[in-house]
Structure formats: C-alpha cells, structure tokens
C-alpha cells in the first residue's frame, strides 16, 4: 500500500496516523519464501517537521515461519518492528536515495518499508532449540528424534594424504 505524503510536505505541523493492513502472505529473501503465521496492522504516524521533511513513527508485529538451520523444522520467529525515522524529501536528497528505498515520488511504500525492517532484523541463524542435533548427512534422519545407525565418522577428503602418512608410520 502507498501513503501519499505530498500533503504533509505542504501543510505545516500536519500529523496523521494510518492503520495499514499488510497484504503480504510471505516474506521473500534470496529466493526463499517464509510464510507469515501471524501479522498485525502497521500503525504509522506521519508528521511534517518542516523543510520538506516528514517524521515516520510506527509499530508492527509479525511471526514468520523460518526453518531451523540444522534440522529444517519450522520455527516461529517473532518480529517487533518499531519505526522512528525522518525522511528528507528535498530535491538534493531525492537524487541520493537508493533504488530500494521505500519512498517513491511523494509516497511511502509500506510493503517496501516492512521488507526493509524485516531484512535488518532477520536472524543470521535460526535454531529450533539450542542443542539441536540436526540431520544425518547420509540418510537425512532428524537426529533429535534418535540415532539412525549410520557411520558418520568420515574424515575430510583433503586430509587423506596426511592420513596415509600416519598409517605408514603407525606403531604396531
């Protein structure tokens, strides 16, 4: 959804609060799709602070389904997003804005704003529990449910030459 802020630029001290429904069903990141399990409305207050600048203040919450990095079980990851930013709409500043900005012409793209805020808060690593054992790299069994019986004691193939040296000098 777009919020037109051109009226805010021309009206001194104008402030308005918007309740914006979020239409996105999934969050996309690097070709992966993470579905929303819960999401609230974006509550965004836009205020004119003078000199072609507006202040954005808002709050939004959601829960994304993200797979565990070790066992691939779904993990509910909560996001609590608070927005508190000034947007400079002067001609010089508009030229400097990047292509992925959530400000387009004299409008705020709320979907792009939410995408940006989730991106900077997205966890580097997601685990279903701190001691997650992951999956067997041979048979794919979830090791949190029990052992699979596979021999997982394989060594790094780059170390094969050193391993041969140790075998040759092994004491009997």
Phi, psi of 77 (to 5 degrees): -105, 115
Q: Kindly state whether residues 92 and 37 are assigned to the same domain.
A: yes
Write out the residue range of the structural domain in which residue 58 sits: 2-121
DSSP state of 22: -
Q: Choose the weakest-confidence range: 27-31, 111-115, 167-171.
A: 167-171
Q: Kindly state whether residues 153 and 111 are assigned to the same domain.
A: no
Q: How far apart are CA 48 and CA 148, in angstroms?
A: 63
User: Any residues with CB less than 8 A from the CB of 46 and at least 6 apart, and which?
Assistant: 3, 5, 8, 15, 16, 17, 18, 54, 55, 56, 108
Q: Look over the chain and give the mean of its residue pLDDT values, rounded to a whole number.
A: 86
Give me the number of domains the chain comprises.
Answer: 2
Q: Kindly state whether residues 75 and 148 are assigned to the same domain.
A: no
CB atoms within 10 A of CB 157: 8
Q: What is the predicted pLDDT for the residue at 140?
A: 87
| pLDDT over threshold 60, residue 154 | yes
Q: What is the predicted pLDDT for the residue at 98?
A: 52
Q: Kindly state whether residues 47 and 16 are assigned to the same domain.
A: yes
Q: How far apart are CA 124 and CA 103, in angstroms?
A: 27
CA dihedral (96, 5, 85, 24) positive or negative: negative
| Mean pLDDT value of segment 157-162 | 77
Q: Kindly state whether residues 110 and 171 are assigned to the same domain.
A: no
Q: Tell me whether residue 46 is in a domain.
A: yes
Helix boundaries (H) for the chain? 6-10, 91-96, 110-121, 160-168
* Pairing between β-strand 32-39 and β-strand 42-50 as defined by DSSP bridges: unpaired
Confidence of residue 12 (pLDDT cuts 50, 70, 90): confident
Q: What is the predicted pLDDT for the residue at 99?
A: 45
Confidence of residue 124 (pLDDT cuts 50, 70, 90): very high
Q: Tell me whether residue 130 is in a domain.
A: no
| pLDDT over threshold 60, residue 82 | yes
| Mean pLDDT value of segment 102-125 | 90
CB atoms within 10 A of CB 23: 9
Q: Kindly state whether residues 21 and 106 are assigned to the same domain.
A: yes
Q: Tell me whether residue 98 is in a domain.
A: yes
Q: Kindly state whether residues 98 and 161 are assigned to the same domain.
A: no
Estimate to the nearest angstrom the gap between the alpha carbon of 109 and the chain centroid.
Answer: 17
Which tokens is 53 given? 């600048």
Confidence of residue 74 (pLDDT cuts 50, 70, 90): very high
């Amino acid at each position: 959804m777009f919020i037109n802020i051109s009226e805010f630029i021309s009206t001194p001290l104008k402030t308005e609060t918007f309740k914006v429904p979020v239409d996105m069903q999934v969050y996309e990141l690097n070709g992966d799709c993470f579905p929303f399990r819960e999401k609230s409305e974006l509550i965004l207050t836009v205020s004119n602070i003078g000199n072609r600048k507006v202040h954005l203040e808002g709050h939004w919450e959601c829960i994304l389904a993200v797979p565990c990095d070790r066992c691939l079980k779904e993990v509910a990851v909560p996001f609590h997003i608070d927005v508190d930013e000034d947007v400079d709409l002067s001609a010089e500043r508009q030229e400097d804005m990047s292509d992925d900005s959530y400000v387009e012409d004299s409008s705020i793209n709320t979907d792009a704003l939410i995408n940006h805020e989730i991106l900077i808060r997205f966890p580097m690593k997601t685990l279903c529990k701190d001691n997650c054992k992951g999956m067997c790299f041979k048979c794919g069994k979830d090791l949190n449910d029990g052992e699979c019986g596979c021999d997982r004691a394989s060594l790094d193939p780059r170390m094969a030459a050193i391993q041969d040296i140790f075998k040759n000098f092994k004491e009997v």
